[in-house]
């Protein structure tokens, strides 16, 4: 098919030199695919290099502690990926003797491995003829073939997977899947693609219909919740502070943070004093409270927008289970908290 052949030719001439493309090791391919979910290559690449240096084999990753994995992942976001990565590594190391399953169907049995990741490993490592469908693939296929199906709708994934399977050249899954994903990342980009320099400028339906900016269709809007976090940076007579682990489900699960008071709006000092008086995490007498940042730090997540304030809270005596700052810096934190601690 002309579409597939042109795409592969373009890829061979324009592909980026990325380390996980230099071999067919399912471990490094799996690692890169998990890291690059909802993450740009430029952001994910340094993390990939650090992970493969720290954990050169799946056994090394499996034998690490979750806190070590989270610390190395710190700043990459979507931390459930790191926790699932660690659990999957343990499954492969201990249940599969370190050997990845060698086909798409069996790869789906791994924890944290869905259809996309299974297809990526199966095609990139074993050249199995299975299509890989991610955001880049949705965009390329919807524009080239003029598909106006809402990609957030229930049947979209099945429809686009079927289209991708039809155009997938048999025996070239590795090349083609890499090509279409790379084409979406470099050429057929979400905004302002350079269509007049595109290999498909005489055959792309969206270009002919002047619909490039309208495709792919995505009607479902993500509801963003606003939350107000007040972090209490306690300091005792030894200049120790208090760190707690987030054990509840939700954002930043198993990462560490200062004691947190969440409110419905930005709070005043008197509000915080009243809230602290009703808490149970520290029994020491409070000597003083001051605000570290007058304007909240706005931290945007996929479905939440956090307004974060840090409060210096000086207490009398010695904190039970207090920790010094140098020890605290070695623990895994959400990046917004780590950045605050780094400046202490």
Distance CA 49, CA 55 (A): 10
Answer for the pair 255, 263: CB distance below 8 angstroms, yes or no.
Answer: no
DSSP string, 154-185: TTHHHHHHHHHHHHSPTT-HHHHHHHHHHHHH
Tell me whether residue 33 is one of the annotated catalytic residues.
yes
Q: 274 and 193 in contact (C-beta within 8 Å)?
A: no
Residue 321: CB atoms within 10 A of its CB come to: 10
Active-site residue identified among 33, 148, 239, 277? 33
> What is the rounded CA–CA span in Å between residue 149 and residue 219?
10
CA 41, distance to chain mean position in Å, is 11
Neighbours of 162 (CB within 10 A): 11
CB 126 within 8 A of CB 39: no
Q: Which helix (H) or strand (E) holds 217?
A: none
Q: Is the peptide bond before 232 cis (omega within 30 degrees of 0)?
A: no
C-alpha torsion sign, points 59, 61, 62, 68:
positive
CA distance 287 to 289: 7
Other CB atoms closer than 10 Å to residue 14's CB: what's the count?
Answer: 13
Residue 272 CA to residue 283 CA, distance in Å, equals 16
E strands, the chain, are 225-235, 244-245, 256-257, 260-263, 286-291, 297-300, 304-315
> Which residues are tagged catalytic?
33
């Amino acid at each position: 098919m002309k579409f597939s052949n042109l795409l592969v030719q373009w890829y061979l001439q324009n592909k980026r030199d990325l380390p996980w493309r230099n071999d067919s090791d399912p471990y490094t391919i799996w690692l890169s695919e998990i890291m690059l979910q909802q993450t740009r290559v430029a952001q994910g690449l340094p993390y990939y290099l650090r992970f493969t240096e720290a954990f050169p084999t799946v056994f090394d990753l499996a034998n690490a502690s979750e806190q070590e994995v989270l610390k190395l992942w710190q700043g990459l976001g979507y931390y459930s990926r790191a926790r699932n990565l660690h659990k999957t590594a343990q499954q492969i190391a201990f249940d599969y003797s370190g050997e990845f399953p060698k086909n798409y169907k069996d790869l789906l049995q791994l924890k944290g491995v869905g259809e996309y990741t299974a297809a990526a490993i199966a095609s990139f490592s074993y050249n199995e003829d299975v299509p890989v469908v991610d955001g880049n693939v949705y965009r390329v296929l919807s524009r080239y073939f003029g598909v106006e199906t809402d990609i957030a709708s229930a049947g979209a994934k099945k429809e686009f997977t079927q289209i991708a399977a039809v155009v997938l050249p048999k025996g070239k899954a590795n090349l083609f899947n890499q090509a279409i994903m790379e084409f979406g990342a470099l050429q057929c980009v979400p905004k302002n693609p350079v269509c007049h320099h595109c290999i498909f400028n005489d055959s792309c339906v969206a270009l002919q219909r002047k619909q490039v900016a309208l495709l792919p269709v995505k009607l479902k809007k993500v509801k963003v919740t606003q939350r107000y976090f007040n972090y209490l940076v306690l300091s005792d007579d030894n200049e120790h502070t208090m760190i707690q682990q987030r054990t509840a489900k939700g954002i930043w699960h198993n990462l560490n943070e200062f004691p947190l008071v969440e409110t419905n709006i930005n709070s005043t000092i008197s509000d915080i004093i009243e809230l602290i008086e009703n808490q149970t995490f520290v029994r020491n007498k409070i000597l003083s409270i001051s605000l570290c940042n007058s304007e909240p730090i706005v931290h945007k997540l996929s479905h939440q927008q956090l307004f974060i304030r840090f409060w210096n809270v000086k207490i009398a005596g010695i904190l039970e289970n207090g920790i010094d700052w140098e020890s605290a810096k070695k623990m895994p934190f959400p990046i917004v908290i780590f950045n605050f601690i780094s400046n202490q």
